[in-house]
Structure 1
Amino acid sequence: MSKVIRKIVSSGKCPKPLAPYSQAVVADRTVYCSGVIGIELNEPKLVSGGATAQTAKALEHLSNLLQEADSGIDRVVKTTVLLSDMNDYAAVNEEYKKVFSKNFPARTCYAVAKLPLGAAVEIEAIAIAGNVQDNSN
């Protein structure tokens, strides 16, 4: 049986983890990204502007992390979006569609009681590393 490669990924273009977890882990060619929130790069402070701005910043961090893992937004196959308030659903979707503009990944969205630092949104992703051929319509 061949070995599966497991690699811990971190990016200086993403905020440092707020707890004991890795920013991302690559197992074989699958990238598992931990949840990201819309915080400033060098300090654990939420960006101003509420759910809209936090979503944009979280997606920016996610994109940077995926690049570090030899992947990209275009190779995301599944996201999970956590919201502290479902009333932000439409605003989050508007920002999300700016980044995921076609061949949308599978997605789950939950409302949760509370997110780290009082964030409005947290987004995690699973992606493919390396070259991918997309056969979508």
Structure 2
Amino acid sequence: MAQRTAVTTEDAPNTDNPYSQGILVDGFLFVSGFGPVDPETMADVDGDIEDQTDRVIANLSAVLAEGGGSLEDVVKVTVYLDDMDDYDAVNEAYANHFGDEPPARVCLEAARLPGDVSVEIDAIAKVE
């Protein structure tokens, strides 16, 4: 059986809900989905969808860093939007973080996201 290690950081939102911010197993870090929540205030960030996407990716980055990785190590993400009309704007913000060889990705519209946020992203990274 593979050894699993929970990854937790104060630099990303942490709730009392029954999930880990990340799980490290066999060199892969599975990062839970995050919305645009400021980890210091636990409030949704103000701003447009690009600002919200930037905060989401900052939350992912914090967990990745705690688990020994970075955005460059991400191999797969799933983007959840409450309105597919935001797709192009989210892509712009997303592209600013993932460079020339972005990870594989799925993007879908969800009827409703936790906390009624507009965007949520989860990630899988290969870390050593």
1:102 matched to 2:97: no
From 56, 59, 62, the equivalent of 1:58 is 56
Q: Which secondary structure does the structure 1 equivalent of 2:78 belong to?
A: strand
Gaps of 5+ in 2: none
Matches within 5 A, 1:68-79: 68-79=66-77
Please state how far the C-alpha of 1:52 moved relative to its aligned partner.
Answer: 1.4
Bigger Rg over Cα: 1
Percent identical among aligned pairs is 37
Please state how far the C-alpha of 1:50 moved relative to its aligned partner.
Answer: 3.1
Cα distance in 1, alignment partners of residues 59 and 47 from structure 2: 17
Please state how far the C-alpha of 1:18 moved relative to its aligned partner.
Answer: 5.5
Q: Deviations over 1:94-135 (max 9, x none)?
A: 1100100121100000000011111110000000112xxxxx
Q: Which secondary structure does the structure 2 equivalent of 1:60 belong to?
A: helix
From 36, 46, 49, the equivalent of 1:48 is 46
TM-score with structure 1 setting the length: 0.89
From 112, 118, 123, the equivalent of 2:121 is 123
Aligned to 1:8: 6
Please state how far the C-alpha of 1:4 moved relative to its aligned partner.
Answer: 2.4
Cα distance in 1, alignment partners of residues 104 and 126 from structure 2: 13
Q: Which secondary structure does the structure 2 equivalent of 1:126 belong to?
A: strand
Deviates more, 1:56-65 or 1:12-21: 12-21
Please state how far the C-alpha of 1:44 moved relative to its aligned partner.
Answer: 2.8
Cα distance in 1, alignment partners of residues 15 and 28 from structure 2: 20
Count residues with an aligned counterpart. Answer: 128
TM-score with structure 2 setting the length: 0.95
Matches within 5 A, 1:9-24: 9-17=7-15, 19-24=17-22
Aligned to 1:34: 32
